[in-house]
Amino acid sequence: MNYISVGGWKIPHIMTSAAVVGSGAAGYNAADTLYSLGVTDTVIVTEGKMMGTSRNTGSDKQTYYKLNLSGGVKDSVYDMAKALMRGGSMHGDIALTDAALSARGFFKLVGLGVPFPMNEYGEYVGYKTDHDETTRATSCGPLTSKYMTQALEKAVMEKQIPIYDRHRVIKILTENGQARGFLTLCREEISKENPLGMCIFSAGAVLYAVGGPSAIYADTVYPPSQTCSLGAAFWAGADGANLTESQYGLASVTFRWNLSGTYQQVLPRYVSTDENGEDEREFLADAFESEEEMLHAIFSKGYEWPFDPKKTVSGGSSRVDLAVFREKCRGRRVFLDYRRNPCAADQNGALNTEKLSEKAREYLANSGALLATPIERLEKMNRPAIDLYASHGIDLYTERLEIAVCAQHCNGGLAVKNNRESTSLENFYAIGECAGTFGVYRPGGSALNSTQTGSLFAAIAVSRKKIAPSPPTEIVLDSVLSEIQTLLCMQEGTVTRDEILLRREKMGKRMSECAAFLRNPSKIQTAMAECKEELLHFAEDYRLKDTEWMVEALINRDILQTQLTYFGAILDYTAHGGKSRGSYLLTEDTGEELLSAEVEMDTAHAAFVQNTSLNRDFSVTSFFEPVRPLPDSDQWFENVWNRFRKEN
């Protein structure tokens, strides 16, 4: 390891052809693929190998979306690409690569030992997921993304690709519109000559795989270990795309986990209590015109898990989400209870099937789960879903499960070209959830597919460029010095770690209250002004009592930068006539009025992708780009063969 002297500090300097930031399913696959394509001078830089969404989150049976690989179902690459685009505001060339490479990515995972189910004839059977019309979905249980991450990590370790653990990226280094590397803080690198543990990474290409903007919300199902790293990219000049588009849905809050699929299809009771867990009552009936309608809505949440304003009309499954939110606005705590049936479907402790819809009755019957209680039905259909909570100290046989409507996934992110290179920052690639590759609606499981296809395509692009790192120029070193001066200004103060975390909690509440699945433009304007003011005075407001908490403070800075950019995108969308769509409802109604409000759905923006920039004066600007159409790709073999041989 070499060292560079900057501002009186002796800083470790690592030079590499490609630096992958992040250690989830996308990051590991990028590094493994780069190495296999000949870019052996590749490193992984991560805040924590055991952190992140890929390793620490899932659902009842976490879905992986790919081409049909069984039976007589007709499918094609173009059919899948069209399905990905059907939700609106998704570029066709990106959809085509996600479809074309899905089988290659899937079978790599199979070869690495990820236990996707195969029948006795070697077919990888599937099922229908949300926003899809066929059976492309597959799963290996609640921990599918964890299995993927572990398998890919093993492949990386076998190749002895260096992993720099416990390094938090605090700044992307740029010059003339190109990424040159980044700065990190690492406590293991602290010395008298490097008092904050700063490290400089010079890279020919940066592959950013840091996940979604988890900590910008208070109500979130992202794992607590994942915070937010998009702010550094926005500040470096990487544009955002579709930042208005995220997914929200019901999740448990003590242990954060999505409550989709069988968690809903077994028909648990929805109850609320006072703050002390007393005064229990069922409350969903108030949101529906009949008991039958209510029960079918609960069942439908399994397939229609994300909140959807289109489904808030009479009988719609998203009225469940609104009822949960309204109950919490009343100061009540909300729970799922798997020990007893909803009163509407209970008959002396057994399930009254007469109140069920034909679809629900048939589903439970086909699953052999027409059993007495929700927990018995869940045990029959999906025992791992129960074991998962048990492993985190929650016994669904004996206790209620506290829930909320939570942020779950960002369909937007950093704006990228077809090869996942940033549209505004050369040699900077966004892969996985941090890439803004999805539109308004997306098929369930397409995010896991994209971790593999996007990282594969980015790795191919980097390997073809054959780029190499170069020592930091004077411009880059000046940028390092500027960051050192900022960090020095944040010393010898009174701010403690508890104060940092309290401020972070307030930031998250601000976002969840006005810019999550319910969005209030007037409140967003106020929140955006507060956010900008906090950034303008960040260094002086975060003068730390102990520099041990510098990383925590800079996470708050990243959250503020990200929130500011998201607020700006939402306000620009509404200023151009944007209405409710996807997984959010534009409204100024209070919790009491939500269930009677009329919903005006957006019809004007599906053919556009909104691109957003965070400027150095903390202003936010956006423009709408027409969706790039699905390409009419060259199918003549000899032409493709000759071009491929030349490129490789």
Q: Which domain holds residue 510?
A: 474-598+613-626
In a domain, 84, yes or no: no
Q: What is the pLDDT of residue 13?
A: 97
pTM, to two decimals: 0.95
Please tell me the distance from the alpha carbon of residue 583 to that of residue 39, in angstroms, as a whole number.
Answer: 40
The two structure tokens encoding residue 445: 């499981």
Same domain, 254 and 238: no
Cβ atoms within 10 Å, residue 260: 27
- Give one DSSP letter per residue of 390-405, joined into a string: HTTT--TTTS-EEEEE
14 touches 164 (CB < 8 A): yes
Residue-wise pLDDT for 257-269, tens only, equals 999 999 999 999 9
Same domain, 314 and 240: no
Name the DSSP class of 279.
Answer: S
589 Cβ contact partners less than 8 Å away, ≥ 6 residues apart: 597
Q: What is the pLDDT of residue 61?
A: 84
Q: Is the pLDDT of residue 60 over 90?
A: no
Of 439, 465, 491, the residue at which a domain comes to its end is 465
Q: How do beta strands 333-337 and 401-410 pair?
A: antiparallel
Same domain, 50 and 173: yes
Same domain, 457 and 482: no
The two structure tokens encoding residue 85: 């685009």
CATH of the domain at 216: 3.50.50.60
Same domain, 507 and 446: no
In a domain, 646, yes or no: no
Of 369, 387, 407, the residue at which a domain comes to its end is 407
CATH of the domain at 516: 1.20.58.100
Which residue, 247, 364, 380, 348, is CA-closest to 295?
364
Which residue, 171, 143, 148, is CA-closest to 45?
171
Same domain, 440 and 528: no
Of 407, 425, 443, the residue at which a domain comes to its end is 407
11 touches 191 (CB < 8 A): no
* pLDDT band per the 50, 70, 90 thresholds, residue 214: confident
Same domain, 393 and 421: no
In a domain, 296, yes or no: yes
Residue-wise pLDDT for 505-552, tens only, equals 999 999 999 999 999 999 999 999 999 999 999 999 999 999 999 999
Same domain, 483 and 346: no
Which residue, 628, 647, 641, is CA-closest to 97?
628
Helix (H, G, I), strand (E, B) or coil at 612: strand
Q: Is the pLDDT of residue 598 over 90?
A: no
86 touches 443 (CB < 8 A): no
Same domain, 151 and 26: yes
The two structure tokens encoding residue 23: 């250690």
In a domain, 430, yes or no: yes
Percent of the chain with pLDDT over 90: 91
| Beta-bridge partners for 637 | none
Q: What is the pLDDT of residue 375?
A: 98
Please tell me the distance from the alpha carbon of residue 611 to that of residue 623, in angstroms, as a whole number.
Answer: 5
In a domain, 370, yes or no: yes
Same domain, 399 and 413: no
Name the DSSP class of 376.
Answer: H
In a domain, 461, yes or no: yes
| Arithmetic mean of pLDDT, 491-518 | 96
In a domain, 448, yes or no: yes
3-state SS, 421-452, equals EECCCECEEECHHHECCCCCCCCCCHHHHHHH
Which residue, 277, 318, 313, is CA-closest to 297?
318
Same domain, 242 and 259: no
504 touches 559 (CB < 8 A): yes
* pLDDT band per the 50, 70, 90 thresholds, residue 597: confident
In a domain, 562, yes or no: yes
Same domain, 272 and 241: no
375 touches 396 (CB < 8 A): yes
Residue-wise pLDDT for 93-146, tens only, equals 999 999 999 999 999 999 999 999 999 999 999 998 888 889 999 999 889 999
Q: Is the pLDDT of residue 592 over 80?
A: no
- For residue 313, give Cα distances in angstroms to 485, 566, 601: 55, 28, 12
Please tell me the distance from the alpha carbon of residue 424 to that of residue 181, in angstroms, as a whole number.
Answer: 16
With tokens 């109950």, the residue in question is: 327
If one counts the domains in the chain, the total is: 3
Please tell me the distance from the alpha carbon of residue 252 to that of residue 619, in angstroms, as a whole number.
Answer: 36
